[in-house]
Amino acid sequence: MTAVDPRLAGRSVHVKVPATTANLGPGFDTLGLALSVYDELEVTVREAPGATVDVRGVGAGEVPTDDTNLVVRAIRHTFDHYEVPMPGLDLVANNVIPHGRGMGSSGAAIVAGVMAAKGLLAGIVDLDSDALLARATELEGHPDNVAPALFGGLTIAWVTPEGPQHKRLTVHRGVSLLVCVPESSTMSTALARSLQPESVPHQDAIFNVSRSALLIAALIQSPELLHAATEDRLHQSYRASAMPETDALIQLLRTAGFAAVVSGAGPSILVLCSDPAQRLKAAELVRSHATTPWESHMLAVDFKGATVIERSADAAA
């Protein structure tokens, strides 16, 4: 048995990661918001090699509880990148973010693992914000979900030859969020992406550029522009056939004047409202017209992003 690095022995960390909603209509693979729904994770170094995961809440009995768990893979990926042998680990995952509903559950799992590694490696390796985003994006494949999960707020994410980048913005206090989640249906991100064409008409690309720019202004300064700013021609219509009730409810909401879009890859719906009363009306519209059970969540924008609390053996004593 390989001995645990003495610098890691006895260490434990607590991680908290927000859910996210990506795309926000026209900002495909670029824009994301952190939501006030959280997964929490406890990670403790142990003598025995390997990892075990105690999953509580969402995903219990469904997701892997060994080294193949996505959180463990993210921890290992980070340790491997910095050439530090990963010690044996005990994990307790308290999951609240729905899986397969377009609220960034996989991105949150990856960020939880990267943040856990950051805490465990404190004093050994310094992971700054660029490093955290790079490690998380390497696993997720694109930064639009992991950026808001890491940093909170509204994020613009893009990729350069030097790696993924982000800009965090503060959302206008008048913006209220409603996320409507179907009780039973799910959507695979891979399936959602497979439904999109390799190219789109030039005029559609121009349309989305204008709406994405307008959406930034609407979210940080002018919420009254949210309905016009959330129009999209790049991805939602192509995916509509795979989630017909989502599409029907979005069309209903938008016709009634609500800024409704697909949350991430779906099938959940995000409604960006200009005041709390408006989102109550939107929730009632969904409740009265949905043909299957949906849950409506009145959420706030999370402004902190992922956090990690480190505890050493000396500190715990």
Binding residues for ATP: 98-108
Distance CA 206, CA 201 (A): 9
Distance CA 297, CA 31 (A): 21
Closest CA to 176 of 268, 301, 283, 281: 301
Distance CA 109, CA 116 (A): 10
Compute the C-alpha angle 223/227/228, nearest 5°. 105
Binding-site residues, please? Answer: 98-108
State in Å, rounded, how far the first CA of the chain is from the last one.
Answer: 27
Q: Which residues pair with 159 in a beta bridge?
A: 164
Distance CA 10, CA 148 (A): 31
